[in-house]
Amino acid sequence: MLKNFIIRWLVSSLGLWIAAGLLGPDRLSLKNSLGIILAAGFFLAVINIFIKPVLVLLSLPAILISLGLFMIVINGLVVLIVSKLYEPMYVSSFGVAMVAGLIIGLVNYLVSRILEDI
């Protein structure tokens, strides 16, 4: 279980780093510090474990009606929550948080597929 959390933490950190690089420091900033990237990834992993399932359960009707597209909004909300809880991480808007959530989700999917094949 600890191994899975550490992998989730590192993949979340990688996704945040890639999202920050793609979106630019004026939209998503982690100050190019490994410590800040790892800490933000830790918060993201913890929130994904404890808070995201509650958000998914509460928004299940919207997820079903939108055929799963509402998950983009939930991922953006999770990124925005992390930025509010962890001050060194800056997200300029909810739209940027949704795009960052998409990028993080894509990185998570790709890494999971790679690790699945190993």
Q: What's the predicted TM-score (pTM) here?
A: 0.92
**How far is CA 69 from its chain centroid?**
16
- pLDDT value of position 14: 96
Measure the CA–CA gap between 17 and 41, rounded to whole angstroms. Answer: 9
Tens digits of residue pLDDT in 59-112: 999 999 999 999 999 999 999 999 999 999 999 999 999 999 999 999 999 998
Distances from the Cα of 61 to the Cαs of 56, 58, 101, in angstroms? 9, 8, 21
Count of beta carbons in the 10 Å neighbourhood of residue 105: 14
pLDDT of residue 1: 87
Window from 3-7, 53-57, 74-78 with minimum mean pLDDT = 3-7
